Structure 1
């Protein structure tokens, strides 16, 4: 069970000393306090971070003063959180550990971020950087164009994602960008990589997130059950049109295992580094009734304010490196536990969360999703 979730405040320019280790330690302590537990109760740790190097998960154990029986480190970016969660749940079920804290976070300065982009993987360094594509913006610009043309979506349609999520961010004191965003402002934003503009690209921030996975009888307050979880990696070869993601392949098993359908969820938390990818995941998971993307974007998200990424998502709350994959899980847990404040979704009992990462030649090669359920 997930007993608590916590986010160390996201910032564009953190104070001196608030480095990656400090951010992860802050999230660690905050999550344990919410769960009513102490560091002495922790016997498992999972970590995802791009900037913790040269330290690793075991070094973080030493810095946090904990001794563990279960230890894991995941390097797969936005897919790390769901992967860590699946392993942690199985470990607790098997008795390998009783209380596991999952941490993800980064503080990447400008130079470190540029280096990460250039050296993200060998495919990027050897085949994309020499062509003048040193980062994901150009790749996702091409995907945005092709997906939009294939489904009859224009810029204003895709702009529904950042505009709707900014409205949610206005109720989230932890979001970096909270000022309302109009369609006029969105359409007038300066270009980054056509057709992407400023509001289509996640702002890089510093921050960290944490959740506590433990046996239910040890937790204080409402808990969250992982009803189903599924992963799929390197599914690109199976998608003939190259427009669907691995979520289309894993979705049937996910919903069958959960015993519910996409129409049953009260909120969704999809990895939103670019608006088009929020749409891709929603469509592939079956969250768009009848597959009518334009209606779903304009009416469901904007007019009806259906709860998609109620934190504001990465597009408004910010992307804190590897924390991005755990950000949606933290928000989902807060909603299911009734701890989301002004942005609380009424009667939120069931949510779906996703994570994807490791960009190759289109969207991420690693896909993961989980259905989470509130327990009283």
Structure 2
């Protein structure tokens, strides 16, 4: 079966973040609602015209109903797909299909989490280790990613210094971003000497635990040109799921990003060389290395050396996670929507660290324990 996607027939016309870092006194849903209002205002579209809601919050399994009620609207379509951090890329895919079919006119994609201020700084997730993994007392989900990192090191000679290079690059981008939660100097030695959490990953290899909300607004391309901000065309979106628990992964060094990325590139008739800026779900440093390889930006096994050579840092050949990513900007339970917002900002030219002449962007989400992968390709104008 061939993928059939409405290439460039829909566009993202509004984008916003709210409460990144710490946002005491707000519930997750209140934050998602505020981000939605801000994104609609960014697009210049009245709240009442939003007729489709795509939302996923960590503490409400009926998020679509709650957000509609809080916003005071009556959408024709709600979607509460929960695949973890990749959910929002899948939301973009379904929204594009629904808009193109005329099923809805204005779609809002939203997320909010108060896990830092409201949940004691602990990751809020309904996911747990399976009965087969639990006897080994893994730290969930950290130990699953540690297994992948250890296997990559064994097979390809990847080192802890290579992993550290990912964290250092993210911090360099974050230092220029007013919204970033973690700033200041960070060196390879700082990462290598940091507290070990789940071997071989230290605390510096792990994402932040923050509050935060984000939202996007999408509509059809024929209306997008009338909105308040420059439209960003949705060229393609593809998702792939290979397993849930890490123990069911057939290969700890290969993710379903290999499939979602290939399909997304084929839909858009683009190749990795066409991409000017990349936003990856970096819950852990190994993620960035795996996804760079599986999406085709470097050969399998070369990801560690690719990042250590400075390619993804400011001034490098492939700008990656230009807001600081989940490692240094914010990680409100699920980072996927923030990756999309940063991609949009880069293509509109209003990012904190704009990449000159950026025309094509890739945003990639990861859910579960390297379980669900989803890739979105965007174009300026």
Q: Secondary structure of 1:165's partner?
A: helix
For the residues of structure 2 that align with 1:303 and 1:29, how far apart are their CA atoms? Answer: 32
Residue 270 of structure 1: CA displacement?
Answer: 1.0
Aligned partner of 1:273 in structure 2 is 283
So what's the TM-score if we normalise by structure 1? 0.90
Residue of structure 2 equivalent to 1:371: 377
Q: Distance in 2 between matches of 1:112 and 1:176?
A: 14
Quick one: distance in 1 between partners of 2:37 and 2:314? 39
Change (3 A) 1:338 1:112: closer
The equivalent of 1:329 in structure 2 is 340
Following TM superposition, by how much is the alpha carbon of 1:71 offset from its aligned partner in structure 2, in angstroms?
1.1
After superposition, the C-alpha distances for 1:214-268 in whole angstroms (9 at most, x for unaligned) are: 1232422211111111111126899754421111233332222211110110011
Give 5+ residue unaligned stretches, structure 1. none
Aligned to 1:219: 227
Given that 1:51 and 1:107 are in contact with CA atoms closer than 8 Å, whether structure 2 keeps it comes out as no
Which runs of 5 or more structure 2 residues have no equivalent in the other structure?
1-10
Using the alignment, how far apart are the partners of 1:241 and 1:23 within structure 2?
38
Q: 1:320: which partner in 2?
A: 332
1:166·1:179 contact (CA, 8 Å) conserved in 2? yes
- Please report how far the alpha carbon of residue 304 of structure 1 lies from its aligned counterpart in structure 2 after TM superposition: 3.9
The question of whether the paired residues in 2 share the 8 Å contact of 1:40 and 1:66 is answered with: yes
Residue 4 of structure 1, aligned match among 11, 14, 31: 14
**Residue correspondence of structure 1 range 3-22 to structure 2 within 5 A:** 3-12=13-22, 14-16=23-25, 18-22=26-30
CA distance in 2, matches of 1:31, 1:353: 18
Give the corresponding residue for 1:73.
80
Larger relative helix fraction: 1
Matched with 1:197 is: 202
**Deviation readout 1:128-170 (Å, 9 max, x if unpaired):** 3343124111221121111122111111111111100110001
Partner of 1:292: 302
In the alignment, which of 150, 153, 157 is matched to residue 155 of structure 2? 150
Q: Number of aligned residue pairs: give it.
A: 362
Per-residue deviation, residues 60-97 of structure 1 (Å, max 9, x unmatched): 21111112111111221111111111000111101111
1:97 aligns with 2:104: yes
Which digits, 9 at most, give the CA deviation of each residue in 1:168-204, with x for residues without a partner? 0011111110212111211121111111111111111
Q: Does residue 61 of the first structure (1) align with residue 72 of the second (2)?
A: no
Higher alpha-carbon deviation: 289-298 or 73-82 = 289-298
Pair 320,42 (structure 1): closer, same or farther in 2 beyond 3 Å: same
1:241–1:73: structure 2 CA closer, same or farther, 3 Å change rule?
Answer: closer
CA contact (8 A) 2:32 2:111 kept: yes
Alignment of 1:166-315 (within 5 A): 166-216=171-221, 217=223, 218-234=226-242, 240-288=250-298, 292-299=302-309, 300-302=311-313, 304-305=315-316, 306-315=318-327
Aligned to 2:19, what secondary structure does the other structure show? strand
CA RMSD of the aligned region, Å? Answer: 2.2
DSSP-derived class of the 1:333 partner:
helix
CA contact (8 A) 1:289 1:296 kept: no
Alpha-carbon spacing, 1:160–1:267, altered in 2? closer, same or farther (3 Å) = same
Give TM-score scaled by structure 2 length. Answer: 0.89
Deviation at 1:284, TM superposition (A): 0.6
* 1:37 is the counterpart of 2:42: no
